[in-house]
């Protein structure tokens, strides 16, 4: 029998200038003594923000030490060969009580050159949205670097950005290089590469508690941006009960949705990776070998790679995002 089991980690709460209180009121997570919470980091291998196990025999062990000890048993052979002791994904919940900054993330090549970091490709799953809430992803038309700079300098970027009306269940894939921002009134789960590199382009002239404008990275952003136009920015998927429905597949992660009202059995023999479950609604029990782990809305669980069979038992309903790293 394996020493490993489904792992839960201590939530890390992040006070943000645009954060609100839905992390507490909707997800039931107490972020006191912070005045607000814009992000929670649920599973993180980012230096200075390494996640720590909060359940079972490995409680108190940080994620890097776990990988060092268990290697491919925890993350999978191909993942360990590629990433070593670095955990490749970062899992967050985000509460946008105000518009986030207009921003972009560099790709792997640029991030390596400039920051010795991975790039930042990410995806969003919207689990709450106020009426008329909007977000930005990409441009509304094909744009040149020169046209972009003209609009940036004249504070008219909104004239060339693509905006989307948002409802619960919407999914957006954001490859590195895509300009974006999350609009006021949206809560979402984010799955991304392990990276904390963000180029802030415009911040609506907001000032922090000390009266200072936040730093912008407009020069760095210019060469990171994809100026192309794409006719479909929102990911399409079929809704179905009690099966794993694909949402996003890319080089860095594959993410599915399991919307369950009866027991769902999953077998992961065909993949060579850990699996992460992110509960975006309801509650379930994860039954693995002889252990049961509860997961409820606002929680995430890491299933070690050597555990290949699991039963998801909803109580009575649950919506889980299911994510892993595909073989390269």
Helix (H, G, I), strand (E, B) or coil at 4: coil
R_g over Cα of the chain: 20
Which residues are CB-contacts of 2 (< 8 A; sequence separation ≥ 6)? 73, 289, 304, 306, 307
Determine the Cα–Cα distance for residues 123 and 251; give it in Å rounded to an integer: 13
Nearest by Cα to 83 from 118, 120, 36: 118
Determine the Cα–Cα distance for residues 77 and 312; give it in Å rounded to an integer: 25
Is 206 one of the catalytic residues?
A: no
Sheet holding 186-193, edge to edge: 12-14, 39-43, 89-96, 186-193, 122-129, 171-174
Which residues are CB-contacts of 282 (< 8 A; sequence separation ≥ 6)? 296, 297, 314, 315, 316, 317, 318, 319
Helix (H, G, I), strand (E, B) or coil at 290: coil
| Dihedral-angle region of residue 169 (phi above 0 means left; psi in -120 to 50 means alpha; beta otherwise) | left
Sheet holding 161-165, edge to edge: 161-165, 134-139, 180-182, 102-104, 199-202
Give me the catalytic one of 200, 206, 214, 266: 200
Would you please indicate which residues are annotated as catalytic (active-site) residues? 200
């Amino acid at each position: 029998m394996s020493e490993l089991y489904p792992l839960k980690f201590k939530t890390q709460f992040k006070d943000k200038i645009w954060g609100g209180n839905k992390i507490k009121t909707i997800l039931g997570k107490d972020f006191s003594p912070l005045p607000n919470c814009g992000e929670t980091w649920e599973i993180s291998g980012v230096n200075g923000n390494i996640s720590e196990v909060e359940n079972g025999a490995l409680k108190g062990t940080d994620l890097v030490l776990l990988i060092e000890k268990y290697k491919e048993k925890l993350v999978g052979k191909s993942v360990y060969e590629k990433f070593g002791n670095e955990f490749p994904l970062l899992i967050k919940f985000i509460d946008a009580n105000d518009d986030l900054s207009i921003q972009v993330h560099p790709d792997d090549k640029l991030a390596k050159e400039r920051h010795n970091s991975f790039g930042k490709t990410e995806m969003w799953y919207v689990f709450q949205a106020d009426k008329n809430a909007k977000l930005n992803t990409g441009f509304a038309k094909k744009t040149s670097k020169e046209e972009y700079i003209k609009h940036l300098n004249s504070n008219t970027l909104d004239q060339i950005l693509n905006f989307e009306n948002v409802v619960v269940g919407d999914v957006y894939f954001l490859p590195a290089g895509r300009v974006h921002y999350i609009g006021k009134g949206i809560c979402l789960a984010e799955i991304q590469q392990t990276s904390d590199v963000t180029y802030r382009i415009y911040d609506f002239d907001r000032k922090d508690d000390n009266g200072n404008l936040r730093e912008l990275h407009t020069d760095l952003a210019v060469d990171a941006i994809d100026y192309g136009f794409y006719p479909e920015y929102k990911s399409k998927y079929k809704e179905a009960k009690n099966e794993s429905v694909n949402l996003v597949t890319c080089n860095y992660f594959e993410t599915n949705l399991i919307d369950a009202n009866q027991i769902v059995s999953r077998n992961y023999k065909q993949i060579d990776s850990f699996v992460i479950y992110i509960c975006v609604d309801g509650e379930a029990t994860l039954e693995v070998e002889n252990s049961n782990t509860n997961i409820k809305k606002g929680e995430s669980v890491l299933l070690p790679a050597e555990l290949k069979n699991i039963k998801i038992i909803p109580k009575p309903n649950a919506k889980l995002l299911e994510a892993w790293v595909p073989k390269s």
